[in-house]
Amino acid sequence: MRPVISKPTRRTGALRPLNAPSPLRIQTDATGRVVSIWRQGRLTPRTIATIQDCWRIDDEWWREHAVSRLYYELVLDDGTLLTIYHDLLADLWFEQHG
């Protein structure tokens, strides 16, 4: 398994975005499938029970910083419903409400 540490890009200014993504650490199995996540501020990782939904957003490709994300709606082993995404350009993982 390979832990991945990610960090979001910091945005400054008078406006503070709501629902900003927060970084996640993930662990994958030998096939590259995500099997557990480690949320910010938590002491232990949580195992993923099921993936309920998956969708992709490709946007702002005309800008310098394009957006390409693969979202997953997950159920964790303790029943928590969670939305995470994989930033396909930066190869980083974040938690964010959909």
Partner 1 sequence: MRRQSWPDVRVACVWIAQLPLRVEILRHPAWDGRPLVLGGAPGERKIVQLCSPEAEAAGVRAGLPLREVVPLCPEAIVLQPDPVRTAAVLESVLADLQRVSPLVEPGLNDDGYLYLDLRGLRAMYGELAHLEEAIQAVVPPLLRPRLGFGSGKFAAAVAARMAAPGAAQVVPAAATEAFLGPLSVRHLLFLEPDILQRLELLGLHTIGELAAVPFNAMQAEFGPSGAYAWRLAHGKDTEPVVARPVITSIQDGLRFDDPLGSVEAVIAAIDQLLAHTFAQPALLGRSVRQVRLRALLSDGTSWERQYTFKEALSTRDAARRALKSKLDLPNGLPPAPIEELALELLGLGGEAVRQPGLFIARARQLAEIAEAACQLRARYGRLPLYHAVEIEPWSRIPERRWALVTCDL
Binding site for partner 1 (CB under 8 A): 12-21, 57, 59-60, 67, 96-98
Distance CA 92, CA 23 (A): 8
The minimum distance between CB 41 and partner 1, in angstroms, equals: 18
> Residue 39, SS3?
strand
Task: Give the nearer residue to partner 1 in terms of CB position, either 33 or 97.
Answer: 97
The minimum distance between CB 67 and partner 1, in angstroms, equals: 6
Sort strands 4-5 and 81-87 into parallel, antiparallel or unpaired.
unpaired
The minimum distance between CB 36 and partner 1, in angstroms, equals: 24
Q: Which of 67, 61, 58 is nearest to 21 (CA)?
A: 67
